[in-house]
Amino acid sequence: MSVYLELRAGIRGTVRANEPLSEHTTWRIGGPADYFVEPAGPEDVQFVTRFAAERGLPLTVMGNGSNLLVSDTGVRGVLVKLGRGMERVLISGDVVLVQGGAKLSRVIRTAAEADLGGLEFMAGIPASVGGAVVMNAGANGVCLGDRVEEVTLVDRRGEVGRRSGAELGFRYRWSDLQTDGAIVTEVAFRCVPRSRTEIGREVERFLRRRRETQPLEHPSAGCVFKNPAGDSAGRLIEAAGGKGLRVGNAEVSRKHANFILNLGGATARDVITLVGQVRQLVSEKFGIELGLEVNLMGDF
């Protein structure tokens, strides 16, 4: 039996062959995944991880694709996307229990309906919970790891485990999950009592700031580079003359220099070439080597 048919027979979720990943990233860039799986629940995640391990197939995991550059040649083996089918959000006291595929916007909204705050700072970030926790996404001076009480994980052997937030090594745009390969299937966020009216005002303030300062008219992956200690990558790129720099149909935003835009039909090669040019400009002018905030997937 083929890999495709075995996957179809073994899970309740979606399985597709040669799925274009440009349809699953906010940059709208990326070649095909050999086998694309969108699990319908944690049991599907366990099946797929065991399946890939037993057959020696590469296994890659993505969330909403909002912080991701996929190569033009795509991804070999099995790619698991946590999304539809793993979006449940439950309230238990002041804890919000969220499956890894839920969008942050939905989590904020559901918590607010229960008069629970503490996640408003993430408003406008188009990420899913699992990916955001793995990279310790943040905004407005706060990181998501600050709110994580516990995560439920499936390791690459298909075994389920739990770890507290304190055990995940959270720091700026980092968690230990980036190296151990475990898949986040559920997160418990510790929230704080707050009226939904106050939460709504705070969310709108953050969203307004995004509209005013960020280029939202073209596909992008948000900030491309990490901020060096005590400085801003966007400021450095602008001061080095990088605004408006273009390779193919990829362009450094003229509104926010830490964004690279897909003006239409940009390739991963366009973007990664532009990344190199921006790094060189900043290095030559300031002697600072910018680190990537976006993740690379596939062959670069």
Instruction: Grade residue 141 by pLDDT with cuts at 50, 70 and 90.
Output: confident
pLDDT at 57 over 70: yes
Is pLDDT above 80 for 185? yes
For the stretch 165-181, pLDDT in tens is 999 999 999 999 999 88
Once rounded to an integer, what is the mean pLDDT over residues 55-60? 97
**β-bridge mates for residue 71, sequence order:** none
Q: Please say whether the beta carbons of 176 and 169 come within 8 A.
A: yes
What is the arithmetic mean of pLDDT over 35-51? 98
Q: How much is the pTM?
A: 0.93
pLDDT for res 1: 63
Helix axes 104-113, 196-213, angle to 10 degrees: 150
Residue 184: CB atoms within 10 Å: 30
Residue that the structure tokens 């969310």 belong to? 203
Among left, alpha and beta (phi > 0; psi -120 to 50; other), residue 268 is alpha
DSSP H helices, the chain, are 3-10, 42-55, 104-113, 129-134, 177-180, 196-213, 233-239, 268-286
What's the rounded Cα separation, in Å, for the pair 74 and 268? 10
Quick one: tokens of 38? 């969108």
Separation of alpha carbons 48 and 43, rounded Å: 9
Whether 89-212 and 3-81 are alike in CATH topology: the answer is no
Instruction: Tell me the average pLDDT across 65-76.
Output: 97
Residue 140 — pLDDT band, cuts 50, 70, 90? confident
The domains of the chain are located at: 3-81, 89-212, 216-297
Classify 216-297 by CATH class: alpha beta
Res 91 pLDDT > 80: yes
pLDDT of residue 181: 87
Please enumerate in sequence order all residues whose Cβ is within 8 A of that of 22, keeping only pairs 6 or more positions apart, or say none: 28, 29, 30, 31, 70
- Residues 101-108, mean pLDDT to the nearest whole number: 97
Core vs surface per residue 42-74: b (16+ CB within 10 A) or e: bbbbbbbbbbbeeeeeebbbbbbbbbbbbbbeb
What is the identity of the amino acid at 24? H
Per residue in 198-220, pLDDT (tens digit) is: 999 999 999 999 999 999 999 99
Per-chain mean pLDDT for the chain: 96
Which residue type occupies 242? G
Of the options 3.40.50.2300, 3.30.450.80, 3.30.465.10, 3.40.50.300, the CATH number for the domain spanning 89-212: 3.30.465.10
**What is the CATH class of 3-81?**
alpha beta
What are the strands, taking DSSP E only, across the chain? Answer: 14-20, 32-38, 59-62, 68-70, 75-81, 89-92, 95-99, 116-117, 138-139, 142-143, 148-154, 160-164, 183-190, 192-193, 246-247, 250-252, 260-262, 295-297
pLDDT at 54 over 70: yes
pLDDT at 180: 87
CA distance 69 to 22: 9
